[in-house]
Structure 1
Amino acid sequence: MLIFNSYVVFDKEGSLIAHARSLSGDNSNPEKYFEGLSRGTQCQAHILIVVQEGGYVARYRVTQPSIPAPTLGPRENFI
């Protein structure tokens, strides 16, 4: 069964800086999606929200280490 995912990335000011949609098996992992963003977008990113078919929503805060690159923090589930 294919699962639809939608990703939205916001900067610290709350502006949308990236978005994408995918089916499972095609960038369906939030970490893989984030790694696929340009380094500039990764450095601006503050929040990644994942919306999955069926009502699952999760939020990831982006860590901002200077080296080697920004990464996703732990998942924060929404109700």
Structure 2
Amino acid sequence: TVHSVNGTWSYTDSSLANGDIPSYTARVADAAGNQSAAGTAYTVTIATTAPGTAAAVTGVADNAGIITGSVASGGT
């Protein structure tokens, strides 16, 4: 685990393969090595194979702000 002074952290699991479903938990430790109970497990599914069909966007709608409605091709 790598952590920084601003409270963010990261973990790299280099042993994963397509179809794996690993489960991760986190603990907090103080400077003396005392650890908290494990947090709720977070599970991810590893998919390295692209889907057989490409997505097709057929329309975009803006439903937020003052101006709403369909967005024209190339519109902003």
Provide the TM-score with structure 1 as the length reference: 0.28
Provide the TM-score with structure 2 as the length reference: 0.29
Q: Which has the higher helix share?
A: 1
Of structures 1 and 2, the one with the larger relative CO (CA 8 A, separation 6+) is 1
Q: Which has the higher strand share?
A: 1
Give the structure with higher Rg (CA): 2
